[in-house]
């Protein structure tokens, strides 16, 4: 009976990434200002390219 009552606690870790937040912000910005879509995509691609080029862990 004791084995059935024993429960393990599971910890869930939340590790946010900067690129995820930027993608979320750009998605919201595209909904609000769709005329600037080209600029948002360009800035995001430059950011991701620089992170990959310099092997940054953000």
Percentage of residues of the chain with pLDDT beyond 90: 3
Q: What are the pLDDT digits (tens) for 13-39?
A: 877 777 788 888 888 988 998 898 899
For 43, the domain range is 16-58
Q: Is residue 25 part of a domain?
A: yes
Q: What are the pLDDT digits (tens) for 39-57?
A: 988 988 898 888 888 887 7
Q: Is residue 44 part of a domain?
A: yes
Cα first-last separation, the chain: 48
What's residue 6's pLDDT? 60
User: CA 24, CA 27: separation in Å to the nearest integer?
Assistant: 5
Radius of gyration of the CA atoms of the chain, in A: 20
Q: How many domains does the chain have?
A: 1
Q: Is residue 49 part of a domain?
A: yes
**Residue 2 in this model has a pLDDT that exceeds 70:** no
User: CA 44, CA 40: separation in Å to the nearest integer?
Assistant: 6
């Amino acid at each position: 009976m004791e084995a059935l009552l024993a429960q393990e606690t599971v910890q869930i870790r939340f590790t946010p990434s900067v690129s995820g937040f930027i993608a979320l912000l750009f998605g919201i910005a595209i909904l609000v200002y769709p005329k600037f879509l080209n600029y948002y995509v360009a800035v995001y691609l430059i950011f991701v390219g620089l992170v990959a080029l310099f092997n940054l862990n953000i």
